[in-house]
Chains A and B, each alone.
Chain A
């Protein structure tokens, strides 16, 4: 493994340096049919799950075959995607905001061979490499975060929970039988890099124990004021601590009852880890949306306060999600999103229909906004 230089000279970092050039320009990558018809599209239709046609004012059509992908992807897999695009799509493709891959062709007769090719490709372990679906009133790919594959604060795994969930929801990825689209999202800790707070169903990794304190190293490894400032609930204060041998050193103390286990202190201070096998697990949130369609965008609500991490397939979590999806499919009106359905029937009825237990954890007690979530009317259901 000999070091191969790119041409970069570490002694003169500014020599021939190119910076601030930004990304490649989008239109370099447009397929010809897109470049020609941009801004001229008239309407679209989903021909079957995973297959769309967009029709232009010019009479041109573009057929899109959408396939799911694990967003964690090897270069071997990407090269296979390229091979497919070279074979069927003249070397063009795109990714969606929900980690799907879209192969586009400019005539209908190219769709079937492409679909056949995609369906024929499986991993050695048996799973599809390129499942077609994710359109219309069904469940599309789950947007998610890193989890245990690459992050320092996760309370659960991302790729694993997503794989387990999508296996269980697979029928609804490849069908369109639901009342409306149902967006599932996953974030592996409270920081929500995946911004799951406005999803129909959100899987959220969650810690339940305050940080441990590595007193002996804390002041050496951390800027104590930064750790204190990082805490959103002011639960951390400076402290003098006596360590083994009687030496008194500077450290911090945590007021446990104020901690909401967000891990912000750990981000600032590696001597305050909070990962814990029994403490960590999953929260499920429900009923958010970002679209302005019919009702305003909504935040997701916490409906399951905790499920344990049960590797490798989190069966309690996937069972609960499946139950929510089925109750929604059976009860909601056409076009109604999960949150709109829950609001129409009332949350008390939602818990009943989904067979979920209501516990004190689900009543908001965080700052002013909490008050607005309590019931201030005699209108409720028994």
Chain B
């Protein structure tokens, strides 16, 4: 028998899509039965009360959670988010219901052995409810009490060799796409660099020293499956400098209809036979492709590597082999000053694990030095770039301006010249001037 009536939530049990309500109910029941004989460290009925308070929100159209309060584990300023219910008397099982962020492995591969260990720990010391995964990428443990925080951290670090992720004005848990582990388009090993950077910057991840949050995301190619270009203060996007690899026989295979275009992605539409001119050559945004004597030609120098042709004919076309990544900076969601897309700062940099990604780290550290010196409280890197100017960022990183940095040159001539750029400087002699120009 359920502890709380949930007539509104019950209506979300039907329909084909997996019902979170059904799942919460099965967990509430599992805790009540306790077939594993667990000595639950937070109230057994936490999930019943979670359903109860959610039902109340569905009834009121308002949340019943209060913000934060300072909770955490000793020595860290992130990874734990305090949460309290504003109806603790009615829902004592979730009166204190803090979140813990557990740093996911790059690529989000798991063994069942490891996942079951996480489940055992979270069953025992928390609500048994998770997010797989949170928006930034972490495994989210949803709901425990303050005394359990250190215990969970101790068990994670001692028994599972596992650390917490980032929150607050820290480096947030970096995340990546599937990369070369299972994708033929990845221009670098996203998992290797994501893991390396996460380990390299543990201090920045756990101890708030930044003006605001800071995100790294690693996309193996310009398809941007982790949305780095829209979400990361620094987005790392794979690219190449040489020619797209062509298998002309496979091109003919697509033309003949032997292979489905776009890897079979359009199988259920009525699109007719594949037409290479209509679907590839004429859609190419730079017009750098043509069919000559039945052969596909690409003027690679003019290609901007948008991935369309490669996406459409994966068996015939592949990215080049002189690969690296582009760094774009300053992307963020709208708060506070409007959304920003990442802006190109480094068109190409080598990805070299053998020297610990030296060339990339150099840019990261220069950007951080600038932002930590000049950034205002709760100002993201993108907003600082807007406030102080792109040129300032070039100065601070020592990167030379180039036409790739802009979509178009400025439309106003309000150039802020530096004094040393103008011969003779800014202190022209008025007396000398007046000799030739009477008052």
Real binding pair? yes
Interface residues on A, range: 35 or more
What 0/1 readout, one digit per residue, does chain B (124-135) give for beta carbons within 8 Å of chain A? 100011111101
Q: Does A304 have its Cβ within 8 Å of any Cβ on chain B?
A: no
Q: Does B223 have its Cβ within 8 Å of any Cβ on chain A?
A: yes
Give the CA-CA distance A266 to B108 in the complex, in Å: 34
Residue contact B162 to A24, C-beta cutoff 8 Å: yes
Q: Does B184 have its Cβ within 8 Å of any Cβ on chain A?
A: yes
Known: A8-B151, A195-B227. A76 touches B135 (CB 8 A): no
In this complex, the member of B43, B110, B128, B228 whose beta carbon has the largest number of chain A beta carbons within 10 angstroms is B110
Q: Does A267 have its Cβ within 8 Å of any Cβ on chain B?
A: yes
Chain B residues, CB < 8 A from A277: 60-62
Nearest-neighbour CB distance to chain A for B44, whole angstroms, equals 7
Chain A residues, CB < 8 A from B178: 94, 96
Residue contact A76 to B263, C-beta cutoff 8 Å: no
Nearest-neighbour CB distance to chain B for A169, whole angstroms, equals 9
Q: Does B423 have its Cβ within 8 Å of any Cβ on chain A?
A: no
Residue contact B264 to A47, C-beta cutoff 8 Å: yes
Stretch at the interface among B114-122, B294-302, B352-360: B114-122
Q: Does B283 have its Cβ within 8 Å of any Cβ on chain A?
A: yes
Nearest-neighbour CB distance to chain B for A67, whole angstroms, equals 9
Q: Does A313 have its Cβ within 8 Å of any Cβ on chain B?
A: yes
Q: Does A251 have its Cβ within 8 Å of any Cβ on chain B?
A: no
Q: How many residues of chain B have a CB within 8 Å of chain A?
A: 151
Residue contact B335 to A176, C-beta cutoff 8 Å: no
| Docked complex: A12-39 residues within 8 A CB-CB of B | 13-14, 16-31, 34, 38-39
What 0/1 readout, one digit per residue, does chain A (176-213) give for beta carbons within 8 Å of chain B? 11110100000100111111111000000000000000
Residue contact A29 to B114, C-beta cutoff 8 Å: yes
Closest to A266 in B: B67
Nearest-neighbour CB distance to chain A for B160, whole angstroms, equals 8
Residue contact A335 to B163, C-beta cutoff 8 Å: no
Chain A residues, CB < 8 A from B268: 49, 137-138, 175-177
Give the CA-CA distance A306 to B129 in the complex, in Å: 32
Residue contact A150 to B97, C-beta cutoff 8 Å: yes
Closest to A83 in B: B112
Chain A residues, CB < 8 A from B41: 1, 3-4
Known: A229-B377, A290-B230, A299-B339. A68 touches B26 (CB 8 A): no
Give the CA-CA distance A149 to B130 in the complex, in Å: 11
Residue contact A197 to B22, C-beta cutoff 8 Å: no
Closest to B305 in A: A292
Residue contact A75 to B83, C-beta cutoff 8 Å: no
Residue contact A46 to B17, C-beta cutoff 8 Å: no
Residue contact A43 to B63, C-beta cutoff 8 Å: no
Chain A residues, CB < 8 A from B123: 75
Residue contact B130 to A78, C-beta cutoff 8 Å: yes
In this complex, the member of A49, A78, A369 whose beta carbon has the largest number of chain B beta carbons within 10 angstroms is A78
Known: A71-B132, A75-B122, A82-B115. A291 touches B222 (CB 8 A): yes
Known: A150-B143, A151-B63, A311-B61. A198 touches B230 (CB 8 A): yes
- Cβ-closest 8 pairs across A and B: A125-B13, A136-B265, A167-B15, A123-B22, A74-B27, A148-B57, A232-B336, A82-B112
Q: Would you list 5 pairs from A and B whose C-beta atoms are within 8 A, ordered by A residue?
A: A54-B182, A75-B119, A97-B226, A137-B269, A267-B67
| A interface list, Cβ under 8 A from B | 1-8, 10, 13-14, 16-31, 34, 38-39, 41-49, 54, 62, 64, 68-79, 81-83, 85-86, 91-97, 99, 101, 104, 123-131, 135-138, 143-154, 157, 159-160, 163-164, 166-167, 170, 173, 175-179, 181, 187, 190-198, 229-230, 232, 262, 264, 266-267, 270, 275-277, 280, 288, 290-295, 297, 299, 309, 311-313, 334-335, 366-367, 369
